[in-house]
Amino acid sequence: MNEEFHGKILLDAQTFLMPEGRKIDASVYIHLKGYARARVSHLDVEKIGLGKVIHRGRGNFLEVRGIEKGLEIVMRESRMVEIDGVKRIVSSLMIANSSLNEVVEKEKSTRAWVGRKYDGIYIGFRKGEIQKLEKVALEKFGVKPLEMLEKPPFTVGERGH
């Protein structure tokens, strides 16, 4: 699902499978809250087969490190995945885009929920990193998240009081 829309911003990024350093043709997006059912702003890395780096279930809390010009997502343990018909061992995933250093600074790290989806993975950051990701989207692309309005079950006076 590589369709682009206003709240899903395609980054000019390169993605590498480590330890080989093998570049893959993945699409990296900032997916902002409120667009296409996103409840929280996050990063999407889309490439068929990439979701298999997540071992069990729907996701894991993993270390995300700020590296020179990007991020590195460190897997709990190496995993064999098949991408473009080629099997490779993956210990981490590097995403090269210098804007991502505004989310996780070089030589810093955080833990994030890395989830599996049909066409790749998503990276769900903690509140502080989400705010930084949304700031990047606003300052570099002029797009901000949509506020999701949830109607309370009732308002004062509505229950007959």
Residue 84 lies in a domain: yes
Residue 36 lies in a domain: yes
Q: How much is the mean pLDDT over the chain?
A: 89
Question: For the chain, how many structural domains are there in total?
Answer: 1
Residue 109 lies in a domain: yes
Please state, as a whole number, how many other Cβ atoms lie within 10 Å of the Cβ of residue 16: 19
Q: Is the pLDDT of residue 41 over 70?
A: yes
Pairing type for strands 86-96 and 14-18 reads antiparallel
Among 56-65, 98-107, 118-127, 146-155, where is mean pLDDT lowest?
Answer: 146-155
Q: Which domain holds residue 129?
A: 8-141
Residue 156 lies in a domain: no
The residue-averaged pLDDT of 112-123 equals 94
User: pLDDT per residue over 27-39, tens digit each?
Assistant: 999 999 998 889 9
Q: What is the pTM of this model?
A: 0.86
| Nearest one of 133, 141, 127, 134 to 104, comparing CA atoms | 133
Residue 154 lies in a domain: no
